[in-house]
């Protein structure tokens, strides 16, 4: 009997090491895509091609939020040709402070918008992205805002430090 309880405990502890280190709800009108390219921990798509994605980078305490906002802005401008339209402070659902960068880009005479939210938590950089044509982004504005408002990047249960370590697998 003791052995079965011990195996169950180790099994549950093992499950705590799997899963995403964040939580996001798929916005209405979108479907979550499985088996995405390795850069993305999460991606969802609307029928019109508007995307929501989350990338996670381990940092080992390298850089602060201002550093990463500047680095992303430079990359988007220099390598991708996007113009920074606005930078606004945001917070995740768990209260983690972040920055949202809003970019614009014309492609084939058609305007595109790209929003990137950056959060630092758990020794990681969380990059939450949305993008699509300006017209499609406008039609999904409420849905996107709802989905972005569900993002959590911190573990917030009493067992998190013990079982979850640097992941939030109870999502």
Report residue 39's pLDDT band, with 50, 70 and 90 as the boundaries. confident
Q: For residues 123 and 58, is the Cβ–Cβ distance under 8 A?
A: yes
Q: Does residue 8 sit within a domain?
A: yes
Round to whole Å and give the CA distance between 41 and 151: 13
**CA-to-CA dists, residue 143 to 14, 45, 92, angstroms:** 35, 12, 16
Does residue 107 sit within a domain? yes
- Has residue 170 been placed in a domain? no
Structural domain boundaries enclosing 98: 2-164
- For the beta carbon of residue 102, count every other beta carbon within 10 angstroms: 16
Give the highest mean pLDDT range of 1-10, 53-62, 68-77, 150-159: 68-77
Q: What is the pTM of this model?
A: 0.81
User: What CATH code is carried by the domain that includes residue 81?
Assistant: 3.40.1000.10
* Residue 83 included in any domain: yes
Handedness of CA 82, 138, 51, 121 (dihedral sign): positive
User: 11 pLDDT exceeds 60?
Assistant: no
Report the pLDDT value the prediction gives residue 20, as an integer from 0 to 100. 81
Residue 64, pLDDT > 60, answer yes
The answer to the question of residue 59 being in a domain is yes
Mean pLDDT of 141-169: 72
């Amino acid at each position: 009997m003791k052995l079965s309880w011990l195996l169950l405990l180790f099994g549950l502890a093992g499950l705590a090491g799997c899963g995403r280190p964040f939580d996001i709800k798929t916005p209405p009108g979108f479907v979550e895509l499985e088996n995405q390219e390795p850069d993305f921990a999460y991606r969802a798509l609307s029928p019109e091609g508007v995307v929501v994605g989350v990338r996670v980078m381990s940092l080992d305490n390298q850089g602060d939020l201002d550093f990463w906002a500047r680095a992303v802005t430079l990359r988007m401008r220099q390598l991708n040709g996007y113009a920074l339209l606005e930078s606004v402070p945001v917070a995740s659902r768990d209260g983690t402070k972040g920055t949202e960068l809003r970019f614009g880009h014309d492609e084939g005479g058609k305007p595109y918008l790209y929003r990137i939210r950056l959060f630092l938590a758990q020794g990681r950089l969380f990059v939450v992205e949305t993008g699509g044509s300006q017209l499609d982004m406008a039609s999904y504005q409420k849905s996107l805002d709802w989905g972005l408002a569900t993002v959590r990047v911190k573990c917030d249960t009493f067992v998190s430090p013990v079982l979850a370590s640097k992941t939030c697998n109870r999502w």
